[in-house]
Amino acid sequence: MLLNEKILSFYNQLDRSLFMEKNQSLSHEDIPLPIGYGQTISQPSLVLKMTQMLNLFPSARTLEIGTGSGYQTALLAEFSQEVFTIERIPELFYKAENRLKLMGYPNIRFKLDDGSIGWKEFSPFDRILVTAAAKHIPQPLIDQLNSPGLMVLPVGKSDIQQLTIVFKNEKGDVRTESHGAVRFVPLLGRY
Ligand code: SAH
């Protein structure tokens, strides 16, 4: 089976209601839903699309900014060797950590902090996924991307963004590619 088919079949059996405390009856609809503290879980088809855009591989070390509910984190953990995930809202952070530990993922490291500065200690990362909208691509995240490496993130103004892929080659040259309009909650923090 191709990687994207494997991701699709895992996605199809991953129950989104496990990552929510309210609106359980809506969890199977392909719509974004609130997870409290002004944050939202993206619509599942977009979570799937971003996971597939990342082009993960079994030995990948993957950084995620914006743990939120942990729904996206579970997909990353299933298809990476190790996932490093950062969330800035304590209430969401502790709930997601608890959930993912109970689900039995041994390969996720959690950090309560501003993710726009990355996680230097464990860099470089083969893959980086940002699940909140950045006005500009945070420089620390570009610096902490491996050569070669790939990052997916929404970039743009608060009302609408472009889903962007950042490619870094073996030499460290960076190029970006836009993949359509999306709408995410803002990335807060230093960068
Ligand atoms: N991937 C999540 C979606 C979360 S919404 C899921 O599947 O549920 C975006 C998340 O990014 C929110 O939880 C928000 O608190 C977090 N966030 C925003 N700015 C951040 C920052 N600078 N560092 C870490 N997390 C941040």
Instruction: Calculate what percentage of the chain has a pLDDT beyond 70.
Output: 100
- 187 C-alpha to ligand 1 centroid (Å): 7
**φ, ψ for residue 36 (rounded to 5)?**
95, 165
> Which residue, among 127, 121, 128, 188, has the nearest Cα to 158 in the 3D structure?
188
Q: Which residues line the pocket of ligand 1, CB cutoff 6 A?
A: 35, 39-42, 65-66, 68-69, 71-72, 86-89, 92, 114-116, 131-132, 185, 187-189
Question: What does the DSSP assignment read for 62-107?
Answer: EEEE--TTSHHHHHHHHTSSEEEEEES-HHHHHHHHHHHHHTT-TT
Mutation choice for ligand 1 from 39, 42, 85, 100, CB with most ligand atoms inside 8 A: 39
Is residue 134 pLDDT above 90, yes or no? yes
CA distance 35 to 166: 28
Is residue 79 pLDDT above 90, yes or no? yes
CA distance 165 to 181: 13
Over residues 142-153, mean pLDDT: 98
Element (DSSP H or E) covering residue 150: strand 145-156
Over residues 166-189, mean pLDDT: 96
CA distance 188 to 18: 26
Give all domains of the chain, ordered by start, each with its CATH number.
3-182 (3.40.50.150)
- 133 C-alpha to ligand 1 centroid (Å): 9
Element (DSSP H or E) covering residue 153: strand 145-156
In 81-96, which positions are buried (b, 16+ CB within 10 angstroms) versus exposed (e)?
ebbbbbbbbeebbebb
Q: Which residues pair with 162 in a beta bridge?
A: 155, 181
Is residue 80 pLDDT above 90, yes or no? yes
pLDDT at 191: 87
Q: Which two tokens stand for residue 123?
A: 């860099």
Whether 42 is a known active-site residue: answer: yes
Torsion (CA) 59, 87, 182, 150 in degrees, nearest 10: -30
pLDDT at 1: 81
Over residues 152-181, mean pLDDT: 97
Is residue 59 pLDDT above 90, yes or no? yes
